[in-house]
Structure 1
Amino acid sequence: MTPRTVEKRVLVQAHVEHVWAQVVTQAGFNHEMRPWVTMRMPRAARGLTVETVPLGRPVGRAWLRLLGVIPFDYDRLVIVELEPGRRFLERSTMLSMRQWEHERILTPTAGGTEVHDRIAFEPRLALRPLSRLLARGVDTFFQHRQRRHRQHFSS
């Protein structure tokens, strides 16, 4: 099966350094996913950021929690590429996904920073018949995340 791909872009009114400082921390990515989902890093990785995890090595199971409470999936988080202050590429597996790839690129603009998310995923066998619906859900979820970015940096 060919992985499904979703791409989202948003312009936020903040310098790229401020946006980067927000999006690479557990508090930052939990802020952008709330109230629907939070991610809890494994004990050994708590306090690490996208910039400080060892490249190419799994950090363990980062549990995703519905409404911040109910565990429903996990992400075997692996950062495979990093350009500090500009870009990261996560290539992971999940309980629900055979493959999950999230690339985030921050680009300075005259009005602030463009946040570009590209997500490619391949559901596990049992979920493949739902891949079109899952793509719509991923699209909607990343719209939410980017709306949260816009709100956070406009206040």
Structure 2
Amino acid sequence: MTISLRFESILNADADLAWRWITDVRCLRNEMRPLLWMSIPRSINNLEDLQIEPGKPLFTSWLWLLGLIPLGTSRLTLRELRSGEGFVEESPMTGMRLWRHERTLEPCAQGTRVVDQLTVEPVFGAAVVKLFLRLFFASRHRALRRRAARLP
């Protein structure tokens, strides 16, 4: 069963700052917490620092629920990285026949609109996966809005 979900937030931040947040691995990790922890090689600080070959895995990450329960691995694979605009990630992942995450940034009158579009096909447990993804991405967007709210 294929699951499609969309999440959208408006951040009181300009697109350049929002771009730095969504490509900085420390910000990405903070955005994912507390629900998920993802291992990232220590040498990687920003997605833009990587030599990206579309469709070729960049590295393998371990995924941990609540930082405690191993969920499996993700071979982080970017199809596109459009500087200042967004990315398309299609990563082979434990428990998924398909994982596609597209994140776009759109300037708007209030700052920047962040849109996450997910298309996933879990191997099993589609209802549980859908519920978890709703909770996880809602949490990620709350984290982004909190970060933007702290700006002067």
TM-score, normalization by structure 1 = 0.88
Residues 28, 17 of structure 1: alpha-carbon distance in 2 compared, 3 angstrom cutoff: same
Distance 1:100 1:49 in 2: 21
> Contact conserved, 1:42 with 1:59, CA < 8 A, in 2?
no
Q: How many residues are treated as equivalent by the alignment?
A: 148
Matched, 1:152 2:147: yes
Q: How does 1:1-155 map to 2 (within 5 A)?
A: 1=1, 3-42=2-41, 46-53=43-50, 54-56=52-54, 57-124=56-123, 127=124, 130-155=125-150
Q: Deviations over 1:60-118 (max 9, x none)?
A: 31111223344322111100112101110001111111210100000111111100000
TM-score, normalization by structure 2 = 0.89
Q: Deviations over 1:41-69 (max 9, x none)?
A: 246xx315332331321023111122334
Identity, in percent, stands at 32
Range with greater deviation from structure 2 (65-74 or 24-33): 65-74
1:5 aligns to what SS in structure 2? strand
Distance 1:133 1:72 in 2: 14
Distance 2:58 2:69 in 1: 21
> What is the identity, as a one-letter code, of the residue corresponding to 2:74?
D
Distance 2:137 2:53 in 1: 24
Distance 2:109 2:93 in 1: 37
> Contact conserved, 1:89 with 1:103, CA < 8 A, in 2?
yes
Unpaired stretches in structure 1, ≥5 consecutive residues: none
Residue 140 of structure 1: how far off its partner (Å): 1.6
> What is the identity, as a one-letter code, of the residue corresponding to 1:32?
E
Distance 1:132 1:36 in 2: 18
Unpaired stretches in structure 2, ≥5 consecutive residues: none
Distance 1:69 1:30 in 2: 15
Residue 123 of structure 1: how far off its partner (Å): 1.0
> Contact conserved, 2:26 with 2:45, CA < 8 A, in 1?
no
Residue 25 of structure 1: how far off its partner (Å): 1.9
Q: Deviations over 1:1-46 (max 9, x none)?
A: 5x21110000111111101101112111101111121211246xx3
